[in-house]
């Protein structure tokens, strides 16, 4: 709209025009759902359009159900059947994140034969008066005709859509999905089936068949492949063990850490510190092996605080390197002192309180002791140079 203001306008008229303009550009929101689960919808979304309404309805339902079920660490939900796996696992890991970052549908647009719904998850930081985005999901709905002959819009598998023009290369039980111009390092890729077999046999787990490894070009493309247009903390690689899927942000074809998650998919509900600890102990932290990660950790923490058991399991004063490395130290100790069966049994614990109780018994420490840090355990693990497990 072109506008030309003239100096002859009376102040009242001008005020009315300003108010009218403000009402038009202000993001007057519509809402979907009730209470704390409400999904806001921006003004620009054409909610009068019957297809848009249908798509919005499905999306809001799906959003609300995964945000409700997203609490806890269940990673067994269907992959891309709904948004469950993306959101539960890392996009909104816990109920705090779900509460803090409400969803707003920014747009619903028809593109390439389907409807694209872009949803931002953000919170307002009242102190600095800035919007803090967690991420933007880009969900595509495609038309299908169901058995009754009526047409419907269904959520599309983001990865299938993103990688439709990519190539695949199979190396034994691993299928690599990669850009056509990206060559798969076959020598390196051969390590993966050998590693899976060795770990699976050692712990009496079934050897995973038909693992898919998607090799994205960078962390942002990793997110895109999962239908995430923007994410505040993009990971280097991520696994969805139940779906036997690994998504990686580099051309690297051997990912021992993620492969451990896939081998131990039956224990996917294990407490995250035990789950990540075991993957780090057996497969490293994604950059280096456990001994390397442990040395680097202890060096970085030489003058800094190392959390106690209680702090580690309650998430007080601990970060991701604490969880990975100290989790690995704990798993290592349980393995050494009590063997594989005890470790597998421990991996059945899901809640922090249960994990702490089990560990206080296995490692004979006082659960109430908030002072004793895990430093001595970590240093002892570092001194054992040649680990025999």
Please report, as ranges, the residues that interact with Zn ion according to CB under 5 A: 276, 279
C-beta of 265: minimal distance to Zn ion in Å?
12
Shortest gap between Cβ of 114 and Zn ion (angstroms)? 33
Smallest gap from residue 339 Cβ to Zn ion (A): 23
Residue 118 or 275 having the CB closest to Zn ion = 275
Residue with tokens 């909610």: 47
Q: From the CB of 219, what's the least distance to Zn ion, in Å? A: 15
Q: Are 126 and 113 in contact (CB under 8 A)?
A: no
- Of the pair 276, 311, the CB lying nearest Zn ion is at 276
Q: Which is nearer to Zn ion, 52 or 244 (CB)?
A: 244
Closest CB 279 distance from Zn ion, rounded Å: 4
Nearer to Zn ion, 87 or 282 (CB): 282
Q: 90 vs 309, which CB is nearer to Zn ion? A: 90
Residue among 109 and 266 whose Cβ is closer to Zn ion: 266
Q: State the DSSP H helix or E strand holding residue 247, giving kind and residue range, or none if neither.
A: strand 245-248
Min CB(89)–Zn ion separation in Å: 10
Nearer to Zn ion, 122 or 238 (CB): 238
Determine contact, residues 205/199, Cβ cutoff 8 Å.
Answer: yes
b/e burial code for range 266-300 (CB count within 10 A of at least 16 → b): ebbbbbbbbbbbbbbbbbbbbeeebbebbeebbee
Closest CB 377 distance from Zn ion, rounded Å: 21
Q: CA–CA distance from 334 to each of 15, 138, 159, 270, 300 (Å)?
A: 73, 43, 38, 15, 25
State the maximum Cα–Cα separation within the chain, in Å, rounded to a whole number. Answer: 89
Report d(CA 66, CA 79) in Å as an integer: 12
| Long-range contact set of residues 338-343: C-beta below 8 Å, sequence gap at least 24 | 338/362, 340/202, 340/203, 340/204, 343/278
Shortest Cβ distance from residue 80 to Zn ion (Å)?
20
Burial of 94 (0-12, 13-18, 19+ CB in 10 A): middle
311 vs 323 by CB, closer to Zn ion: 323
CA gap 328, 308 in Å, rounded = 15
Closest to Zn ion by CB, 141 vs 240, is: 240
Of the pair 115, 267, the CB lying nearest Zn ion is at 267
Question: How near is the Cβ of 277 to Zn ion at its closest, in Å?
Answer: 9
Phi-psi region of 6 (alpha: psi -120 to 50; beta: other; left: phi over 0): beta
Which of 231, 211, 219, 258 shows the shortest CA–CA distance to 90?
A: 231
Looking up tokens 């040649």 gives 386
Contacts of 240 (CB under 8 A, 6+ apart): 75, 79, 85, 89, 246, 247
**Smallest gap from residue 253 Cβ to Zn ion (A):** 18
State the pairing for strand pair 174-178/211-215. parallel
- Give the C-alpha separation, 309 to 306, whole Å: 10
Where residue 142 falls (left for φ over 0; alpha for ψ -120 to 50; beta otherwise) is: beta
């Amino acid at each position: 709209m072109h506008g030309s203001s003239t100096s002859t306008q009376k102040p009242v008229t001008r005020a009315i025009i300003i108010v009218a303009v403000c009402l038009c550009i202000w993001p007057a929101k519509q809402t979907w759902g009730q209470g704390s689960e409400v999904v806001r919808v921006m003004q620009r979304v054409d909610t009068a359009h019957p297809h848009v309404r249908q798509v919005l309805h499905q999306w809001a339902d799906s959003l609300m159900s995964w945000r409700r079920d997203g609490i806890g660490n269940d990673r067994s939900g269907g992959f891309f059947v709904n948004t469950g796996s993306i959101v539960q696992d890392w996009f909104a890991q816990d109920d705090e994140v779900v509460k803090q970052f409400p969803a707003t549908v920014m747009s619903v647009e028809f593109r390439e034969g389907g409807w694209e719904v872009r949803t931002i998850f953000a919170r307002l930081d009242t102190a600095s008066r800035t919007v803090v985005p967690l991420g933007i999901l880009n969900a595509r709905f495609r038309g299908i005709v169901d058995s009754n002959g009526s047409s419907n819009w269904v959520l599309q598998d983001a990865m299938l859509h993103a990688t439709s023009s990519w190539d695949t290369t199979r190396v034994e039980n691993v299928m690599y999905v990669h850009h056509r111009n990206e060559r798969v390092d076959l020598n390196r890729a051969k390590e993966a089936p050998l590693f899976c077999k060795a770990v699976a046999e050692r712990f009496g787990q079934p050897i995973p068949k038909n693992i898919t490894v998607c090799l994205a070009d960078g962390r942002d493309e990793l997110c895109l492949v999962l239908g995430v247009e923007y994410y505040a903390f993009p990971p280097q690689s991520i696994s969805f063990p139940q779906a036997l899927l690994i998504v990686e942000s580099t051309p690297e074809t051997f990912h021992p850490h993620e492969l451990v998650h896939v081998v131990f998919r039956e224990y996917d509900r294990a407490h995250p510190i035990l789950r990540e600890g075991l993957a780090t102990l057996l497969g490293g932290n994604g950059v280096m092996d456990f001994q390397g990660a442990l040395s680097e950790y202890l060096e970085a923490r030489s003058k800094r605080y190392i959390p106690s058991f209680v702090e580690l399991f309650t998430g007080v004063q601990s970060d991701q390197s604490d969880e990975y490395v100290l989790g690995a130290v704990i798993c290592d100790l349980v393995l050494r002192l009590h063997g594989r069966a005890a470790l597998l049994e421990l991996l059945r614990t899901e809640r922090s309180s249960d994990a702490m109780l089990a560990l206080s018994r296995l490692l004979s420490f006082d659960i109430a002791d908030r002072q004793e840090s895990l430093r001595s355990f970590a240093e002892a693990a570092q001194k054992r140079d040649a680990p025999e497990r």
